[in-house]
Amino acid sequence: MGGRESFLFSVLLLVACAQKAPSAAGDAAVSPNRDAPAEMAGVMAPPGDPEEAIRSEFAHVERRGTAEAYALFAERHPGHPLAKEAARRAAALRRGNP
């Protein structure tokens, strides 16, 4: 093989190897979600229930039991039914009658 043929063979060999190279995550297929953590192998858990998250936050606010916590909850979730209750409790705590 001459110099030119050797060069072309080397280029073809590099291209072939690059196409078959394993990904950084092993032999797993490349995920369309490139933001997924490697340990999830590209599969993200579905998002949680937003209503459950809001209720959990309200339970945390109840445990704190401060006017500031209730007022902040009401600000964060103005359209939620618990926001009215949070605002009512914040006002009651500020008046001194919880």
pLDDT in tens, 21-55: 555 555 444 445 566 666 666 677 788 999 999 99
Number of domains in the chain: 1
Beta bridge partners of 64: none
Answer yes or no: is 59 within a domain. yes
Q: What is the mean pLDDT of residues 66-90?
A: 97
For residue 55, give the H/E element and its range.
helix 50-64
Q: What is the mean pLDDT of residues 52-63?
A: 96
- State which residues form the domain around 65: 52-95
Amino acid identity for residue 52 in this structure = E
Answer yes or no: is 18 within a domain. no
**DSSP category for residue 4:** H
Answer yes or no: is 70 within a domain. yes
Q: What is the pTM of this model?
A: 0.54
* Distance linking the first and last C-alpha atoms of the chain: 92
Answer yes or no: is 24 within a domain. no
Answer yes or no: is 38 within a domain. no
- Distance from C-alpha of 31 to C-alpha of 13, rounded to nearest angstrom: 26
